[in-house]
Amino acid sequence: MAKVRFLMMGVGGMGRAHIDNILNVEDAEIVALVDPSEASIEAARAKSDRLANVPAFADYKEALQKVEADAAVIVTPHSQHFEQGMACLEAGLNVLMEKPFVAGSENAKKLIAFAEEKKKHLAVGYQRHTQGQYMYLRNLIQSGELGDIYFITAYQAQGWLEGCRGTWRQNPELSCGGQLNDSGSHLLDVILWMTGFQPQEVSAYIDNRGTQVDIDSALTVRFEGGTICTFNVVGSANIGWWEDVSINGSKGTALYRNGSLMVSKGGRHQPLVEVPESELPASSTPDQNFVDLILGRVQEAAAPSSCGFRVARLTEAAWQSAETGKAVQF
Q: What is the reported pLDDT for 267?
A: 82
DSSP-derived 3-state class of residue 242: strand
CATH 3.40.50.720 domain extents, the chain: 4-127
Q: What is the reported pLDDT for 1?
A: 67
Residue 3 and residue 29: Cα distance in Å, rounded?
A: 7
CATH 3.30.360.10 domain extents, the chain: 132-278+305-329
Q: What is the reported pLDDT for 2?
A: 82
Residue whose C-alpha is closest to residue 192's, from 268, 100, 260? 100
Residue 81 and residue 275: Cα distance in Å, rounded?
A: 38
pTM above the 0.85 mark? yes
Q: Alpha-carbon Rg of the chain, whole angstroms?
A: 20
Query: 132-278+305-329: which CATH architecture?
Result: 2-Layer Sandwich (3.30)
Q: What is the reported pLDDT for 234?
A: 98
CA 272 to chain centre: 29
Q: What is the reported pLDDT for 282?
A: 96
Residue 176 and residue 239: Cα distance in Å, rounded?
A: 25
Instruction: Print burial letters for 5-31: b (CB count within 10 Å at least 16), e (below 16).
Output: bbbbbbbbeebbbbbebbeebeebbbb
pLDDT in tens, the chain (330 residues): 689 999 999 999 999 999 999 999 999 999 999 999 999 999 999 999 999 999 999 999 999 999 999 999 999 999 999 999 999 999 999 999 999 999 999 999 999 999 999 999 999 999 999 999 999 999 999 999 999 999 999 999 999 999 999 999 999 999 999 999 999 999 999 999 999 999 999 999 999 999 999 999 999 999 999 999 999 999 999 999 999 999 999 999 999 999 999 999 988 889 999 999 999 999 999 999 999 999 999 999 999 999 999 999 999 999 999 999 999 998
Q: What is the reported pLDDT for 262?
A: 98
Q: What is the reported pLDDT for 323?
A: 96
Write the class of the CATH domain 4-127.
alpha beta
Handedness of CA 33, 35, 41, 43 (dihedral sign): negative
